[in-house]
Structure 1
Amino acid sequence: MLDATTRSGGTATASSQAATELTVPAPTPAPVAAGLAVRCSRVLLSPWSRLSLLVVLLAAAGSSVLLFEPHKLLADGWPPQVSGPAAVVLFAVAYGLVTVAFVPRPLLNLAAGALFGSQLGFAAAIAGTVIGAGFAFTLGRILGQEALRPLLRGRLLTAADHQFSRHGFRSMLGVRLFPGVPFWAANYAAAVSRMGYVPFLLATALGSIPNIAAYVVAGARASTPTSPVFLIAVAAIALPALAGAVVAWRKRHHLRRR
């Protein structure tokens, strides 16, 4: 009798254990999905993926400039329904954005002088230059620095990187004063280096003053091309450009001889 009871109790216990095992939910695929998400995020946020994104963004910006020609809109007084200080602010912001898309700054500086005169045009051009430089520097620092820094090999590249990283303000000030270095190239070269934001932006603002002033004044006085002010502005544009071309030629000739 006791054996029967024991056997029945054991059977009941086994049955309850089987029922418990049957009711336990199967493990969810959450760890697998989490691991896949982590791997995907690593791939998407890798240095080369970010560099590819930067290249795509710059290519899209350059293509949009070729298609829509925003510099012509700026030169024609865009937007026509806005005037006064608001127009100056909008021009400065648009100036900064289109310089990231490789629109030539001399055209924009001339347009600033023609639209707003010497003083307001100079303020708009300086603000737009700083905005565009800061935006390009941020893009290059976030999306390109980590991938490109290991590629800085060779004597010239390492020397330039050392100069920018150790003497950021002085180096960028010289680059901005020298008319032969493209604006966008200096922005991304500084972004790849270890130069700080503040020295970069301050040197950009101060170093761009002579060139911007000359172009803005020339644009403001374009209606009187024989005036002394216009002729002085044109000379201030031409002489540094000629000096830069001579220095670049001498440097190239010196390197070839070596």
Structure 2
Amino acid sequence: MLDDATTRSGGTATAPPRAAATELAAAVPTPVPVPVPVPGGFAARCTRTLLSPWSRLSLLVVLLAAAASSVLLFEPQKLLADGWPPQVEGSAAVVLFAVAYGLVTVAFVPRPLLNLAAGALFGSEWGIGAALAGTVLGAGIAFGLGRLLGQEALRPLLRGRWLKAADGQFSRHGFRSMLAVRLFPGVPFWAANYCAAVSRMGYVPFLLATALGSIPNTAAYVVAGARASAPTSPAFLIALACIAVPALAGVVVAWRKRHHLRDR
């Protein structure tokens, strides 16, 4: 008679299949649960803090302060007195000057001094090319920094009448407004760059308006710098007139805009 717990095969007793499965499961180690990172942990909070609008604005302020401090420390205006390094010549000197021009304009160095230096160092033709390239480069860098690091933090602060009017003008008529700002000097170069960056103006219209609108004023300063040794020459006198007339026109336009905004 067969037993219910065992079976006999050649006189040897074997364990039932259920008992064997239980022993096998007991032999397999139990997997240790791996902790899953919970969203919103410390790392996520640090990342959100670092990428917040006010953190990026603080970074922009630090970068601009460092750039301005480096300009004061290295004194690039010595190029006007000491001349360009003699080991840099030809087109390499023009390219290097254009890059340096763009970088120092981000650090608030006045463009008229740089334009005069371009004319004194390279003459009228090469000087105009170097100064315009540096102008567009510096404007593009400033616009990119302002748009990436400052726009989200500063836009909610545009509550005053003048600020709202400027923002609306740049946002709706970006190319035309920036072209007018560049053609009629009066607004500092760096201020126009960062105001445009905070607005909703497009990047391409900003660069195109800067390139076209900066030609007359830049060329006038460069020619004046190139002909400074002959202050009675017709070219120097015409350059001075081209500097003075747009400046006067800019004052008139600003005065009329001021009264227009006051009456609104």
TM range (shorter): 0.7 to 0.9
What is the aligned-residue identity percentage?
Answer: 81
Q: Determine whether 1:48 maps to 2:54.
A: yes
Q: Aligned equivalents of 2:86 and 2:197: distance in 1?
A: 36
Deviations 1:24-78 (A, max 9, x none): 64755x6269822211111100111101100111111111111211232366433
Deviations 1:224-253 (A, max 9, x none): 111111111112112322333344456557
Comparing 245-254 with 151-160, greater Cα deviation is found at 245-254
What is the aligned counterpart of 2:171 among 165, 176, 201? 165
Q: Determine whether 1:72 maps to 2:78.
A: yes
TM superposition shift of 1:148? 1.2
Paired AA for residue 175 in structure 1: V
What is the aligned counterpart of 2:89 among 83, 87, 95? 83
Contact 1:217 1:230 in 2 (8 A): yes
Q: Determine whether 1:216 maps to 2:222.
A: yes
Comparing 48-57 with 68-77, greater Cα deviation is found at 68-77
Unaligned 5+ segments in structure 1 are 3-9
Q: Aligned equivalents of 1:75 and 1:97: distance in 2?
A: 20
Aligned ranges for residues 226-245 of structure 1 at < 5 Å?
226-245=232-251
Q: Aligned equivalents of 1:106 and 1:76: distance in 2?
A: 18
TM superposition shift of 1:90? 0.5
Paired AA for residue 150 in structure 2: G
Q: Aligned equivalents of 2:165 and 2:102: distance in 1?
A: 30
Deviations 1:116-171 (A, max 9, x none): 00000000000000000000000001001111112222332222212211211111
Deviations 1:197-231 (A, max 9, x none): 11100100110011001000000001111111111
Deviating runs (4+, > 6 A) in structure 1? 253-258
Paired AA for residue 200 in structure 2: R
Which of the two has greater helix per residue? Answer: 1
* Equivalent position of 2:123 in the other structure: 117
CA RMSD of aligned residues (A): 3.1
What is the aligned counterpart of 2:107 among 90, 101, 104? 101
SS at match of 1:31: coil
What is the aligned counterpart of 1:36 among 42, 62, 84? 42
Unaligned 5+ segments in structure 2 are 6-18
Greater Rg over alpha carbons, structure? 2
Contact 1:74 1:91 in 2 (8 A): no
* Equivalent position of 1:57 in the other structure: 63
Q: Determine whether 1:225 maps to 2:228.
A: no
Paired AA for residue 54 in structure 2: W
Q: Aligned equivalents of 2:81 and 2:173: distance in 1?
A: 37
Q: Aligned equivalents of 1:235 and 1:35: distance in 2?
A: 64
Q: Aligned equivalents of 2:196 and 2:107: distance in 1?
A: 17
Paired AA for residue 205 in structure 2: P
SS at match of 1:225: coil
Q: Determine whether 1:196 maps to 2:224.
A: no
Paired AA for residue 219 in structure 1: G
Judged with a 3 Å threshold, the aligned counterparts in structure 2 of structure 1 residues 257 and 27 are, in CA distance, closer, same or farther, namely: closer
Contact 1:71 1:103 in 2 (8 A): no
Q: Aligned equivalents of 2:175 and 2:251: distance in 1?
A: 24
Contact 2:84 2:121 in 1 (8 A): no
Judged with a 3 Å threshold, the aligned counterparts in structure 2 of structure 1 residues 90 and 197 are, in CA distance, closer, same or farther, namely: same
